[in-house]
Amino acid sequence: MKKDPKDQLSNYEYQFIGKPVPRHDAWDKVFGRTKYADDFDMPGMLFGKVLRSSYPAAKILSIDTSGAEKMPGVAAVLTAKDVPNNETVTRFGQTHQVGGFEGLYRVLADKKVRFMGEAVALVAAETEEIAEEALARIKVEYEQLPGVFDPLEAMNPDAYQVGEGDSNIICNYQVRKGDVKEGFSRSHVVVENTYRVPFVEHAFLEPESGIAWIDDSEIITIRVSTQVIEHFRDVADVLGIPHNKVRVIAPMVGGGFGSKEDITVETFLALLTWKTGKPVKMTWTREGSIISSSKRHPYVMKYKTGATRDGKLMAMEAQLISDAGAHVYLSPWVLLYSTVDATGPYDIPNVKVDSYTVLTNNTFTSANRGFGAPQVCFAYESQMDELARRLSLSPLEIRKRNYLRKGDALATGRVLEYGVETEKTAIKALEALGEPSMPSSPTEKIGQGLASGMMSYGRMTFLHDTSRSYVGIELDGSVTVRCGVQDIGGGQASSLASIAAEILGVPMEEIKVFIGDTALTPIAGTTTATRMLYMSGNATLKAATEVKKSLLPKAAEMLEASPEDLVFRDKKVFVRGAPARAIPLADVVKACAADGVQLYNVAQFNAPFRELIDFKTGQGQVFPDFTFGSHAVEVAVDTETGKVRVLKLVACYDVGQAINPLSAEGQIEGGALYGLGYALTEEVILDKGITLTPSFSEYLVPTSVDAPHVKTIMLESRDGAGPFGAKGIGEPSCNSIAPAVANAVANAIGARILDLPLTPEKILRSLQKL
Amino acid sequence: MIEAEYVAPSNLGELFKSIEGRAERVKFVAGCTNVLPDLRAQNPAPMLLVDLTGIEELRRIEENNGVISIGSLATMTELAASEIIRTHGPILASAARALGNPLTRNRATIGGNIADASPAADTAPPLLALEATIHTEGASHAKREIPVEEFFIGPNQTVLNQGELITRITFPIPKDPSASSHIKFGLRNAMAISVVSVAVVLEMQGNLCHRARIALGSVAPKPIRAYLTEKELEGRKITEEVLESCAEVVKKEISPITDIRASAQYREHVTGVLLKRALWQAAREGENSTNGNI
């Protein structure tokens, strides 16, 4: 089934693929010309605001909106009773419903509130100030309930029930391979630790925002910052109108990182515009966003890993418990990623994994760059270094003795059929890290750390993922691509232009990519799961290749050559080996048009379709493929204050084939810094459901002066499932950085910290200075 | 909703005229880096916003007869760049450079930083160590000169009356030979509220510390002077042993709290560490400036 990437193009060198070109949208962003969601106004528009719960757990006894309704300038005040279908059950997968783990959601809270950020009422008013004041005049009577805030406590059968079901445990998976008892008995060293990772905020620059209006054919149109335009169906279901009466448009998105995968403002906007008949805009404040939007899952991870004297892994047992917060959302799938990735990129003969995700009255958790992979990577890579230390092996050596290789099977039985270059990435990352620096003072300790990781790209195969793309060639030889991708800043649109340019031999600036519009672009699925290049890249490649094929016979006739000998390049068609024999591409197109040849193609790309795996043994295929790589880090630890400075940071990942190396490097650098915040400073702190870090003054994202130089090394195995052998890099790029930092700190101070982030205080405690 | 009347006087005469009889409703604004976020969060009563940014006389940084005078509208960027401050109050320039980010530093003023009276106010420890005086003017031109150690009362509380304006801040140029040092410790390298900050000014006599002024931020309800520690140091040579005893004494003078940034216990520990470093740095600086006579 795997194609030789060279077959996709005849044997000439790529002209655009793999060439560093500035993205077509870069200057617009630099000069502030890009119109993000909040930059778009309409005459007569209203401003929407959300009233959020005052308690993390409470019964709603009554809501009195009369004070707000009476205010001049208030156009609508909505509560649960005004929503046609307030209760929805979210299933998973846009095209294929797999059932299980269905979550009950209410657009607006009714009966019971489950967390502090829960929406209780909506207001639309002529100004933001009036809307804000109207919220203050809505009187909600609550009866406070005890709530539960610790997932381990919530697992208890007699714990407070967060939802309306009979258990807080949403789901449980198991992986069973071999016999771990036997494996541990044959191990010379067994390392056992419990790791904890915190809630994390996505911290995109652009908070949730959108504007909705009813167009002149009665279509509810929502222009919104989203990773998923296909939520148009969910919005239509809430309103009780046909799906084709709702249109969602995604402009350039100012960062998503997973939090714009779930619905944010869309339904609220649709309800308010539907009720008032007027355009309505809604943009959340940073504080509103941090309090009410999804977070990365905190995990408690018990790991037990055994190895022989030579460092060969014999057994691994893991128990993973994630805090789903107040609603199910994507927690079961995040947990499944963690469960499949729990062994890391290692071949282990005996494996036992038990994983749980549990409801609490904390802010809900859902997708966040890495989707469950970085949590377990922190645990398994910390374990590897602990084993190495006990066995007096180098961190690289123990890993080399255990890395999975192409053709090996994961603990879930899935055979890795594409490139696996983990070992090479680790060697190269360490080489680039070089010799340790000298400490700058007697109280400073220098440490180096390595971590490798694996993470899937492409959605889970039982979701039967598909994407579509339109490629058309105009009479002047310029090219139009229409594809329903959401561009969240990773160059999703630009990479499609590169692919079409390569196949049709048309310069990048003559390719126009239309994106993100459910009415005008073929549906391409979500910009999540590191799937966009893999899925829509392949669809675009397929469509462009079909267009080229339809032009070939006419071109061959015009050039009096055989179709196999033709080369499309520089908006011309050449005969291979005879560069003088060329005709303008536009002439071929015009001749084809005259003959009635179809000048466009809409292609669909289907990922491999599989069925649900066995959740009791974990056996089966969950993902199309994985991206492998390593991070190497050098830190200086101030042993008197506990402060960590990152001196060097090397990221080495196998990207398969960089479509645009500048974009791929941008992803790898961004991923490194994203992971660096996770390692050192970022934590959403909740006290009994109340967020204590609601702004960027308390929630500490690394600033430019905290960022070390990131050295990026891109390996190109050309052996991925994406176009031209590409693999996905968006999420995997942040995977192994936190454990690399933790390993470097442990190397520096001789003590291991099991909880992220590695704050100065934790470091001093581990040095027993506090 | 913020309801406010707005006036923008161009000199102090105009200012006091415009607020006459309405002093209790006055909110002075300049850089707005604290005021705007606070107002948005508080839903305040209607007020009179007095924009100070047009009053040129409040901007000057100058030296007169051994006294440095800083207009209350001087921004952090201006303080950090000022030759006068860098020469005669380098610890104040250092604190100004450590505040917020470039955008904030371009707007935030020294008057605002002091009037806001955060226990973590970045410019407070240097001003305390420099024994600065806060000059104010209130209704009917009543002027006061308040020593900075009497200026702060508690978190976000000062001795300022309603409608009383900080006009300038002065400090005497420290006597030669002197040395100073400033350390801000935050959880990241910019845009951080300090976990602990330390400023010291030492007057040296030969190799002895003749006089010490030590100030601390974020370890008490207000920025404080560490008088006991100063006594511990004065008249002694700066040795490892003396530094250790200072680090012990200072713990008795502070009353740190536990918050999301750090625990009280951590702050106590790090105060000792930073104090030792600041004193050591200052002593070494003194050593260099007096050609190794210490």
ipTM: 0.94
Q: What is the pLDDT of residue B285?
A: 80
The stretches in chain A having pLDDT less than 70 are 1-12, 90-102
Reported as type and span, the H/E element at residue A384 is helix A373-391
Structure tokens at A99: 């059932």
Q: Please, what is the Cα angle at B55 between B51 and B56, to 5 degrees?
A: 145
Over residues B162-167, the mean pLDDT reads 96
DSSP string computed for A562-614: -GGGEEEETTEEEETTEEEEEEEHHHHHHHHHHTT---EEEEEEEPPP-PPP-
Pairing of strands A644-654, A625-638: antiparallel
Distance of CA A231 to the CA centre of its chain: 17
Instruction: Return the C-alpha torsion angle B7, B9, B13, B16, nearest 10.
Output: 20
For CA atoms A665, A667, A670, A671, the dihedral sign is negative
For chain B, give every residue range classified as CATH 3.30.465.10: 56-172
- Does the pLDDT value for residue B290 go beyond 60? no
Residues of chain A with C-beta less than 8 angstroms from the C-beta of B188: 681, 700, 702-703, 706
B189–A contact, CB cutoff 8 A = yes
Measured in angstroms, the CA of B187 and the nearest CA of chain A are apart by 7
Measured in angstroms, the CA of A254 and the nearest CA of chain B are apart by 21
Place of tokens 């409470």: A58
Residues of chain B with C-beta less than 8 angstroms from the C-beta of A644: none
**Distance from C-alpha of A132 to C-alpha of B1, rounded to nearest angstrom:** 7
Structure confidence by residue, pLDDT tens digits, A516-554: 999 999 999 999 999 999 999 999 999 999 999 999 999
**Distance from C-alpha of A599 to C-alpha of A615, rounded to nearest angstrom:** 47
Contacts of B65 (CB under 8 A, 6+ apart): none
Q: Please, what is the Cα angle at A123 between A42 and A694, to 5 degrees?
A: 95
Distance of CA A152 to the CA centre of its chain: 27
Structure confidence by residue, pLDDT tens digits, B200-212: 999 988 889 999 9
Q: What is the pLDDT of residue A95?
A: 46
Band of pLDDT at residue B42, cut at 50, 70 and 90: confident
Among A130, A703, A767, the strongest candidate for a mutation testing the B interface, having the largest count of B CBs within 10 A, is: A703
Contact, A479 vs A510, CB < 8 A? Answer: yes
**Distance from C-alpha of A232 to C-alpha of A249, rounded to nearest angstrom:** 9
For CA atoms A420, A261, A151, A333, the dihedral sign is negative
What residue spans of B193-233 are helical by DSSP H? 227-233
8-state DSSP, A730: T
Structure confidence by residue, pLDDT tens digits, A753-770: 999 999 999 999 999 999
Q: Name residues 37-66 of chain B within 8 A of A (Cβ).
A: 43
Say if the Cβ atoms of A706 and B260 lie within 8 Å: no
Domain B56-172, CATH 3.30.465.10 — does that match? yes
Q: What is the pLDDT of residue B39?
A: 86
- The domain defined by B178-290 folds into Enolase-like; domain 1 (3.30.390)
Q: Which domains does chain A have, with CATH numbers?
A: 5-34+466-606 (3.30.365.10), 38-145+208-283 (3.90.1170.50), 299-460+612-766 (3.30.365.10)
The phi-psi region of residue A396 (left if phi > 0; otherwise alpha if psi is between -120 and 50; otherwise beta) is alpha
Distance of CA A146 to the CA centre of its chain: 34
Contacts of B137 (CB under 8 A, 6+ apart): B12, B16, B143, B144, B164, B165, B167
Residues of chain B with C-beta less than 8 angstroms from the C-beta of A643: 185
Structure confidence by residue, pLDDT tens digits, A588-628: 999 999 999 999 999 999 999 998 888 899 999 999 999 99
Reported as type and span, the H/E element at residue A550 is helix A538-559
B173: how many CB neighbours lie within 10 A of its CB? 16
8-state DSSP, B37: H
SS3 A382: helix
Q: What is the pLDDT of residue B291?
A: 37
Say if the Cβ atoms of A760 and B260 lie within 8 Å: no
Measured in angstroms, the CA of A133 and the nearest CA of chain B are apart by 6
* Exposed / middle / buried, residue B84 (Cβ in 10 Å: 0-12, 13-18, 19+): middle
A442: how many CB neighbours lie within 10 A of its CB? 7
Distance of CA A645 to the CA centre of its chain: 28
Reported as type and span, the H/E element at residue A539 is helix A538-559
- Report whether the peptide linkage leading into residue A661 is cis, meaning its omega lies within 30 degrees of zero: no
For chain B, give every residue range classified as CATH 3.30.390.50: 178-290
B263–A contact, CB cutoff 8 A = yes
Say if the Cβ atoms of B185 and A643 lie within 8 Å: yes
Say if the Cβ atoms of A681 and B269 lie within 8 Å: no
Place of tokens 């490097």: A665
Contacts of B20 (CB under 8 A, 6+ apart): B139
Band of pLDDT at residue B191, cut at 50, 70 and 90: very high
* Exposed / middle / buried, residue A250 (Cβ in 10 Å: 0-12, 13-18, 19+): buried
Q: What is the pLDDT of residue A9?
A: 41
What residue spans of chain B are helical by DSSP H? 12-18, 35-42, 76-81, 83-88, 90-98, 102-107, 110-116, 124-129, 148-151, 227-233, 240-253, 264-289
Pairing of strands A350-359, A313-325: parallel
Among A641, A682, A699, A759, the strongest candidate for a mutation testing the B interface, having the largest count of B CBs within 10 A, is: A641
**Distance from C-alpha of B271 to C-alpha of B253, rounded to nearest angstrom:** 11
pTM of the model: 0.96
Nearest chain A residue to B187, by CA: A681
* Exposed / middle / buried, residue B187 (Cβ in 10 Å: 0-12, 13-18, 19+): buried
